[in-house]
Amino acid sequence: MKLSILVNEGPYTHQASDTAYQFTKAALEKGVEIFRVFFYNDGVNNGTRLTVPPQDDRNIQKNWSELGEKYKLDLVVCIAAAQRRGILDEGEAKRHGKGEGAANIAPGFRISGLGQLIEAGIEAERLVVFGD
């Protein structure tokens, strides 16, 4: 089985990103292939390295980054949604003149276009959507 995952809500505000993470982790542990995890709408906020949750709570962004590293996951943040919400990589920060050190994309995530979401739907046997 080959799945793609779509995450449409931000961390902490909504359970969708927690559920998506737990689902993705469980699927990977069962040997399911994850073609891509795509972050859209407020879901892009899962991919900022600047979140600092309280120490006695889960760190959702770090969970994703670690899962991504362990399984070589393709964690893709939508560029249009990310720009609206202030999520930038080095290239975008430079292109929009946001200054040195403005890039805040978290480790293991990359920023790309919506075409990557459509491709995720085409290439996987199922696209599983987590949202409101």
Partner 1 sequence: MSVAKKFLYVNRKAPYGTIYALESLEVVLIGAAFDQNVSLAFLDDGVFQLAKGQDTKGLGVKNFSPTFRALGDYGVTKLYVEKESLAERGLTEDDLMPVTYEDENDGFAEKPSLIFVDRAELARVMRDQDVVLSF
Selection from 10, 14, 21, 13 nearest residue 44 by Cα: 10
Residue 49 contacts residue 61 (beta carbons within 8 Å): yes
Minimum distance from CB of 23 to partner 1 (Å)?
16
What would the two tokens of residue 89 be?
């990589």
Residue 42, SS3 per DSSP:
helix
- The alpha-helical segments, DSSP class H, found in the chain are 16-29, 60-71, 79-84, 90-95, 115-123
In whole angstroms, the minimum distance from the beta carbon of 6 to partner 1 comes to 7
In angstroms, the CA 59 to CA 44 distance is: 15
Q: Can you give the binding site for partner 1, defined by CB under 8 A? A: 6, 8, 40-41, 80-81, 84, 113-115, 117-119, 121-122, 127, 129, 131-132
**Least separation in angstroms between CB 66 and partner 1:** 27
